[in-house]
């Protein structure tokens, strides 16, 4: 058994067991149905809220569990090990943490309890049709008009885009470059001038609703600006992106462990030329390589979690973690899929869905090319 990290506790073991049982009972039996529908129903989100999952690292005073980054790490590791990609809790928690970090007391009291319960489902409305990693170039604009902003623009590839009714929206509010970017908290229920586009058909993560969003002179209260003044959005994004990238790295090592376990079990059961294929040296050596890299990745990510908890996780290090673990995720899942032969090409096999679900890890949260650029700048 792999040693637990130094920050592990009995409480986290109990949480790990509880989360595993919850998802095995409430999510996995419906996964195929939700993948066909391309969405996880709000009823499941409400169950997750009742179980405390949606507010796992939010303060108790706002309806959360009062957990820490360690609790988040357990959640995303469990999701990875179970191969769950349709439940967009990652962007939901990211949106909530923006409010927690930069919201006023009134904003926290207004939104965080609803995010913890699932009454509000969060999303990050960042990417636009012509703008990905270059956040200073967003074209969505918010213009003051009395007590409101008139918000106009479009977003694409938005996770939770169909379900979400609380959008952490990246917009221009005036000013040049990064100084003109602000974050606007948009509650979409009953909002005139807001509409959702189609639920996008993706390579993988089929149950995760991903959509286009459109704003046409949508009136959003000025009081929904995140932070005390306009023009802080770019800096808020830069400060919070390490949290998102760490969550992706945690999920990646969970996925790697799942792929190796699936391959280990299958190769012991599958026979060729009168013996299990695990007995062939090539298979055994490949599994040994994958298991070793899985251990390296886990130790690295657990150290990043420890540093984050102490406020010492810097941008280059978390960029390394996001880049290396997601690259290895795609490589190792592909290696493990090869061991399944023709069955590895069939969508009914978990390893096949894992292969399709993994590819986007190198794209969202900042492409891996951007991660290497950030690392290079620090050298």
- Report the CATH number that the domain containing residue 367 is assigned in CATH: 1.20.140.10
Tokens 């290090």, located at residue? 317
Instruction: Pick the catalytic residue from 244, 269, 331, 348.
Output: 244
pLDDT confidence of residue 254: 98
How many domains would you assign to the chain? 2
> Tens digit of pLDDT for each residue in 200-258?
999 999 999 999 999 999 999 999 999 999 999 999 999 998 999 999 999 999 999 99
User: What's the CA gap between 306 and 47, in Å, rounded?
Assistant: 30
Q: Determine what percent of the chain is predicted with pLDDT higher than 70.
A: 99
241 and 369 share one domain: yes
Residue 103: CB atoms within 10 Å: 18
pLDDT given for residue 130 in this prediction: 81
Residue 138 and residue 172 share a domain: yes
- Check if 244 is active-site: yes
Strands 166-172 and 122-125: parallel
Cα gap 268→139, rounded to integer Å: 54
Q: Quick one: pLDDT at residue 2?
A: 60
pLDDT at 368: 97
Query: Are 161 and 294 in a shared domain?
Result: no
Q: What is the pLDDT at residue 146? A: 97
Same-domain pairing of 226 and 263: no
**Could you tell me if residue 349 is inside a domain?**
yes
Residue ranges making up the domain that contains 355: 235-377
- CATH number for the domain spanning 194: value is 2.40.110.10
pLDDT digits (tens, 9 = 90+) for 271-289: 999 999 999 999 999 999 9
% of the chain with per-residue pLDDT over 90: 95
Q: Alpha-carbon distance 103 to 97, whole Å?
A: 9
Roughly what angle, to the nearest 10 degrees, separates helices 10-26 and 42-50? Answer: 150
Q: Mean pLDDT in the chain?
A: 96
Domain for residue 320, yes or no? yes
Q: In this predicted structure, what is the pLDDT of residue 251?
A: 97
Looking at the domain assignment, is residue 86 inside a domain?
Answer: no
Q: Which of 79-83, 92-96, 128-132, 343-347 shows the lowest mean pLDDT across its residues?
A: 128-132
Q: 143 vs 138, 150, 153, 225, CA distance in Å?
A: 14, 5, 12, 12
């Amino acid at each position: 058994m792999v040693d637990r990290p130094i920050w592990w506790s009995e409480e986290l073991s109990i949480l790990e067991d509880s989360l595993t049982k919850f998802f095995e009972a409430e999510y996995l039996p419906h996964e195929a149905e939700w993948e066909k529908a391309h969405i996880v129903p709000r009823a499941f989100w409400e169950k997750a809220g009742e179980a405390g999952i949606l507010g796992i690292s939010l303060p108790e005073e706002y309806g959360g569990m009062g957990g820490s980054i360690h609790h988040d790490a357990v959640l995303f590791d469990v999701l990875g090990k179970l191969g769950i990609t349709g439940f967009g809790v990652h962007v939901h928690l990211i949106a909530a943490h923006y409010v927690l970090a930069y919201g006023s007391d009134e904003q926290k009291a207004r939104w965080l309890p609803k995010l913890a319960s699932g009454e509000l489902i969060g999303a990050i409305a960042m990417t636009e049709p012509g703008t990905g990693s270059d956040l200073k170039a967003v074209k969505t604009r918010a213009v003051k008009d009395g007590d409101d902003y008139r918000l106009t623009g479009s977003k694409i590839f938005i996770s939770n885009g169909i379900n979400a009714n609380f959008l952490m929206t990246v917009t221009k509010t005036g000013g040049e470059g990064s100084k003109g970017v602000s974050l606007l908290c948009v509650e979409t229920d009953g909002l005139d001038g807001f509409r959702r586009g189609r639920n996008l058909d993706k390579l993988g993560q089929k149950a995760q609703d991903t959509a286009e969003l459109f704003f046409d002179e949508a009136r959003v209260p000025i009081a929904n600006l995140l932070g005390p003044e306009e023009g802080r959005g770019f800096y808020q994004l830069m400060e919070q992106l390490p949290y998102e990238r760490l969550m992706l790295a945690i999920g990646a090592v969970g996925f790697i462990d799942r792929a190796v376990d699936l391959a280990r079990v299958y190769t012991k059961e599958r026979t060729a030329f009168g013996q299990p294929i695990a007995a062939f040296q090539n298979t055994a050596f490949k599994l040994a390589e994958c298991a070793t890299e899985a251990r390296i990745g886990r130790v690295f990510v657990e150290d990043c979690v420890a540093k984050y908890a102490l406020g010492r996780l810097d941008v280059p290090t978390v960029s390394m973690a996001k880049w290396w673990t997601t690259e290895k995720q795609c490589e190792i899942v592909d290696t493990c899929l090869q061991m399944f032969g023709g069955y590895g090409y069939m969508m009914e096999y978990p390893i096949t869905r894992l292969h399709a679900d993994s590819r986007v890890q190198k794209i969202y949260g900042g492409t891996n090319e951007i991660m290497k650029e950030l690392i290079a700048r620090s050298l």
